[in-house]
Amino acid sequence: MSEYLPGLAGVPATKSNISDIDGEKGVLYYRGYPIEQLAKHSSFEETSLLLLDGELPTTAKLAEFDSQLRENRQVKYHIRELMKALPATGHPMEMLQTAVASLSMFYPGNECLTSTEMCEDLNYIHNMTVKIIARMGTIVAMWQHLRHGYEPPVPREDLTYAENFLYMLNREEPDPLLAHIMDVCLILHAEHTINASTFSALVTASTLSSPYSVITAAIGTLSGPLHGGANQRVLEMLNDIGSPDKAEAYVDEKLANKQVIWGMGHREYKTKDPRAIILQGLVAELMEARGGDVNPLMEIALEVERVVEDRLAHKGVYPNVDFYSGILYHEMGIPADQFTAIFAISRTAGWLAHWREQLADNRIFRPTQMYIGSEPREFVPIGRR
């Protein structure tokens, strides 16, 4: 192919059987299962194992995987001390990238990747996967306390992944509904084909770099506002708008200036993101449980969605996953700058599933370019320029 396509739009970069999207119909599948069914019937632990192994696990396999995750939640005190040395004003995604990158120094185990031969040790791959997924939630929750000068709580093995994360974040056992909502959010964000951060993970994996480096690269990519960082920007946007009656003028001004309306539109979907539909329903469920009062930000969001649909539906621009996730996390009492870090906790399952798939048939990524620079020319000494 000699045609230049900005952003590699529509260019197949790999083959995968992990997830699939039908953008015209607004459908997302994990290993062939619709996201709606997984959100309703599964758990983050079960969905993670589905993504990793390819099939829904038996009761025994799920119990073993869940037990392994619980047993690996703690991190060495060295990690905690390293995090204490980071600036308290640092963004959680910057902290997360630093902490995950350091894990390989404290938890060695990359022997499988020291040669040019592809790693075929599935036990090694599984064990590394368990350790990384288990510790992601711990690290993100620890930062919430460390950046304020307090020691973080110790992870608990008697709680589910979602329950333990909320417990560590707030120092108290979560309300069952909040734990359920967090579990569903983790499922929804766990995988989404070859997006920017997953592509970063694949490129890094193809060099046989360590899985810690693979996840570190993906975290850096996810942190950008055009990817995972958009959910925080959505909340800031809604606060800037201030009230539903100002939404129309805000949207029209942004469109007139060709500026981004955060949380709107997706490269793949030409209709409303199926994850956004589920998240919107979770916001409604939480509001109903709290007496039916509508979050003011939700009222603004609904009006923004209405206006955008009126103006841009013909172009296939609808809410994406980031549009309602920020409102939901805000209503759960989670700081806005932690939104994308929670995204990373979840997406680690998908990144590692792609890491495993890449190793199974590895070839280093080496795309070409179209050179548009100067023709060959002679060097001119500095005194003659």
Tracing tokens 């309306």 back to the chain, one arrives at 261
Number of CB atoms found within 10 A of residue 361's CB: 9
Contact 204, 214 (CB under 8 A): yes
Contact 192, 354 (CB under 8 A): no
d(CA 361, CA 119): 10
Q: In what helix (H) or strand (E) does residue 34 lie, and over which residues does it extend?
A: strand 33-34
DSSP-based three-state secondary structure for 137: helix
d(CA 385, CA 382): 5
Q: What are phi and psi of 22, to 5 degrees?
A: -110, 95
DSSP 338: G
DSSP-based three-state secondary structure for 92: helix
* Residues annotated catalytic, as ranges: 266, 322
**CA–CA distances in Å: residue 29 to residues 13, 20, 137, 269, 300:** 19, 5, 24, 13, 30
d(CA 232, CA 362): 35
Q: State which amino acid sits at residue 87.
A: P
Q: What number of CA atoms fall less than 13 Å from residue 56's CA on the CB side?
A: 9
